[in-house]
Homo-oligomer: A and B are copies of this chain.
Amino acid sequence: MKNDTVNIGLIGFGTIGSGVVTILKQNMDLIEKKSRKKINLKKIVDLDISTPRGVDVDPEKLSTNVDDILEDEDIDIVIELIGGYLPALDFILKALNKGKHVVTANKALLAKHWDEIISAAEENQVKISFEASVGGGIPLLQPLNESLAANNIQSIYGIINGTANYILTKMTQEGLNFDSVLNEAQDKGYAEQDTTFDVEGHDTAQKLILLTILGFGKYVKEENFHVEGIRNITPEDIIFNLEERGYVIKLLGISRKTDNELEVRVHPTLIPQDHLLASVNGVFNGVYIEGDAVGPVMMYGQGAGSMPTASAVIGDCLDIINNPQKEIPFGPLKENPASLKSIENVKSKYYIRLKALDHPGVLHSIAGILSDFNISIESVSQKKLDDGPAVPIFIVTHKASENDLRSALKKIDELKDIKEKSMFIRILEE
């Protein structure tokens, strides 16, 4: 920073933006002590500057015109918190091109426009920081980039969407089904009205792209890897796996090296109850990073929310102030796309659920098809029910390729005694 005072411009006065203003008010002494500079939140821009945010702001600082930040030569750091692709991309590029450092929580934008944004930062010799974009307030990207920099990263996997984790946790703890938990969460304001992005895994996928870039230096697009959400999980899946097998279901983002390829995938995953991730409940996030030297480490905390996310935003501002020349370890990655292992070639153990008529011979036919595809069965459980002739069957397999599993299930689903098509959940490899 050129001067003793650092001027900050905030674009987006929503949930996280209000948190930023609150922390800057509340902890300014501490923050200035750590930055050895005066910090001045000079301007806050939002389309709506009249609705009260629960924090006092000098009205002169408020504006609806983004150029009051982007064109102000005194502003050193721009915090972008409006989210989405446009106009956020324009604002960020303009700020970088004006020689301003940028802090953002915008995972969607970074995941999609990585090279464009990073190149603009490099060309203008300014920084773009985005700790808040993955895992909210959890120190995650900085440790991955810096503390663990001596490691060849082997794998990164974790729970990085709080809404999906909240729903699965409630389903597990209270035996409720997906829809009733979701409705309750929406009524109480814990979940957005449109949760497609969270429950179908896209939010997890975007964050996983950023973790993959930083962990492996490889670029990957969402359309090139498997992304599957949690809508098909039923209470009976949860109960069977927990009570009979000691496994819990979590929505994981997984990115890991195998042979010379990267496996990148998002899907519900069965995790042994004594694995630390199995205890990451509610809106909390937890991410495992495995390095060749350090072994496994895990970071845990609140992956969303006004104050936790704002904590990461201000942490980034302090990092820029204290280390303005520090660079992101990987620059533009156009030349460095990941060589991806297709999900069909990934090997895993599986839990399978299907519903079949309770005839002698059904299990025999199913086992035969699985065997034809070289899939061995670890256990089979068939529940007697009072409500009809079809019974749910739960199968746990030994390790098999997903290609074989899908082919086998396709054949099984064609059996005449099958009354409800199969679904399966992958089991975390240990």
Residues of A at the B interface (CB closer than 8 Å) are: 19, 23, 26-27, 30-31, 33-34, 36, 131, 137-139, 142-143, 146-152, 274, 276, 279-280, 291-302, 305, 307-308, 310-312, 314-315, 318-319, 322-323, 325-327, 329
Contacts and interface: CB of A to CB of B under 8 A. Distances in A.
B307 A293 contact: yes
Number of copies of this chain in the oligomer?
Answer: 2
Q: Which 10 A-B pairs have the closest CB atoms?
A: A139-B147, A139-B143, A297-B301, A150-B314, A137-B294, A293-B311, A294-B311, A298-B300, A293-B307, A323-B323
Contacts of A146: 139, 142, 315, 318-319, 322
7 contacts: A27-B151, A31-B150, A36-B327, A139-B297, A146-B318, A276-B300, A323-B323
A298 B295 contact: no
A401 to B, nearest CB: 31
A150 B315 contact: yes
A37 to B, nearest CB: 13
Given A294-B302, A297-B137, A329-B33, A147 B143 contact: yes
Contacts of A279: 274, 276, 279
A299 B135 CA distance: 13
Contact of A294 (B149, B293, B307): B307
Contact of A147 (B19, B30, B312, B325): B312
Contact of A322 (B27, B138, B311, B326): B326
A318 B27 contact: no
A56 B138 CA distance: 39
Nearest to A317: B150
Contacts of A138: 294, 297
A300 B301 contact: no
Given A294-B307, A297-B301, A318 B139 contact: no
Contact of A295 (B23, B274, B276, B308): B308
A293 B147 contact: no
Interface centre among A148, A280, A305, A325 (most CB of B within 10 A): A148
A236 B94 CA distance: 66
Contacts of A315: 146-150
A33 B36 CA distance: 31
B295 A297 contact: no
Contacts of A302: 294-297
Given A34-B149, A152-B30, A137 B295 contact: yes
